[in-house]
Amino acid sequence: MSYYQGKTVWLTGASSGIGLAMAKQLAEAGAHLILTSRRADALEAVRQGLAHPERHRVLALDLSQPEQAATTAAAELGDQVIDILINNAGVSQRSLILDTDMKVYRQLMEIDYFGVIALTKLVLPRMLERQSGHIVTVSSVAGKVGTKLRSGYNGAKFGVIGFMDSLRAETYGKGVIVTSILPGFINTQVAHNSLTGDGSALGHEDPDNAGGISAESCAAQSLQAIAKGKAEVVIGSGLSKLAPFLQRFFPGLVRNLVAKR
Ligand SMILES: NC(=O)c1ccc[n+]([C@@H]2O[C@H](COP(=O)([O-])OP(=O)(O)OC[C@H]3O[C@@H](n4cnc5c(N)ncnc54)[C@H](OP(=O)(O)O)[C@@H]3O)[C@@H](O)[C@H]2O)c1
């Protein structure tokens, strides 16, 4: 039987890219989904296209306001048991430090860092009470290696790996599994939706993401790693997949590579 069969999975970022591919695969695997992102209409269209649409529900939240999102979610979900939380929603960045407003740094942190904490804090008490649950966050290879144009995204994605490491330590032996997923370049809308220096979206693809592996492949590998209870997994191909390994063992080489790119 699949790890996901009959489990309630709260999945953020379910309207697009990796989250959308995960939603389809999770529904096929027998999960009951709570689908979250900002756009209720897009999520409803996703729900209707999934296997067994009646098993799934839509919960639209704006994670750029994490406390408000958590309050709304608490009211909507009541005492519903969440078996697995997948914090996948996120936004990237394409702007130099010199050109980036402080409000953009704050927005990246709200969505990519505080949003994860707010939803985690909502589900954690019941998971500990039940001594059962799984919390997953989609960070990034950008959470291990800092590169140009992504200073705020790097900060948030580095930070969230630290948060997940701490969560794993604090829940050790208490029945809660903690997994961090670190994708490299994946072919999704992430570059298109990236924030520029004034907070507006980039509005076009970039060749790195367009040349990456598919969202479907990333989702399948992520779900496999989650089912195995992995602590941390890097997913992708080429240099973006190798980068965390190189950073650990050849940090000088990586510093040179990212400076010249
Ligand atoms: N693609 C890559 O190369 C790559 C690499 C490493 C890590 N990642 C990470 O993978 C995750 C998924 O990204 P993706 O590549 O699938 O990008 P994507 O296609 O742009 O999808 C992003 C998702 O996040 C949701 N989202 C954005 N802002 C939100 C907000 N304020 N509140 C709630 N939901 C919000 C979006 O839905 P709405 O627009 O409906 O809100 C969408 O469902 C992100 O955490 C990203 O950082 C991606």
Contact 212, 190 (CB under 8 A): no
- The pLDDT profile of the chain, 261 residues, written as one tens digit per residue, is 799 999 999 999 999 999 999 999 999 999 999 999 999 999 999 999 999 999 999 999 999 999 999 999 999 999 999 999 999 999 999 999 999 999 999 999 999 999 999 999 999 999 999 999 999 999 999 999 999 999 999 999 999 999 999 999 999 999 999 999 999 999 999 999 999 999 999 999 999 999 999 999 999 999 999 999 999 999 999 999 999 999 999 999 999 999 998
- pLDDT at site 7: 98
62 lines ligand 1 (CB under 6 A): yes
State pLDDT tens for residues 198-237.
999 999 999 999 999 999 999 999 999 999 999 999 999 9
- pLDDT at site 49: 98
In angstroms, the CA 134 to CA 107 distance is: 27
Q: Tell me the two tokens of residue 98.
A: 């010199």
- pLDDT at site 224: 98
244 lines ligand 1 (CB under 6 A): no
Q: Tell me the two tokens of residue 20.
A: 């959308």
**Portion of the chain with pLDDT greater than 90, in percent:** 99
Number of CB atoms found within 10 A of residue 98's CB: 6
Residue 39, amino acid: R
206 lines ligand 1 (CB under 6 A): no
Q: How far is the CA of 149 from the centre of ligand 1 (A)?
A: 17
- pLDDT at site 67: 98
What is the H or E stretch that residue 44 is in? helix 40-49
Q: Tell me the two tokens of residue 53.
A: 């649409």
155 lines ligand 1 (CB under 6 A): no
State pLDDT tens for residues 178-196.
999 999 999 999 999 999 9
- pLDDT at site 105: 98
143 lines ligand 1 (CB under 6 A): no
Residue to probe by mutation, ligand 1, list 34, 35, 38, 150, most atoms within 8 Å of CB: 38
Residue to probe by mutation, ligand 1, list 25, 85, 91, most atoms within 8 Å of CB: 91
Residue 59: beta bridge partners? none
Q: How far is the CA of 153 from the centre of ligand 1 (A)?
A: 12
Q: How far is the CA of 89 from the centre of ligand 1 (A)?
A: 4
Task: Report which of 13, 69, 8, 53 is spatially closest to residue 33, judged by C-alpha positions.
Answer: 8
In angstroms, the CA 115 to CA 98 distance is: 26
Number of CB atoms found within 10 A of residue 202's CB: 18
- pLDDT at site 180: 99
- pLDDT at site 247: 97
- What's the maximum distance between 2 C-alpha atoms anywhere in the chain? 53
User: Which residues are the active-site residues?
Assistant: 153
Tell me the fold of 8-260.
Rossmann fold (3.40.50)
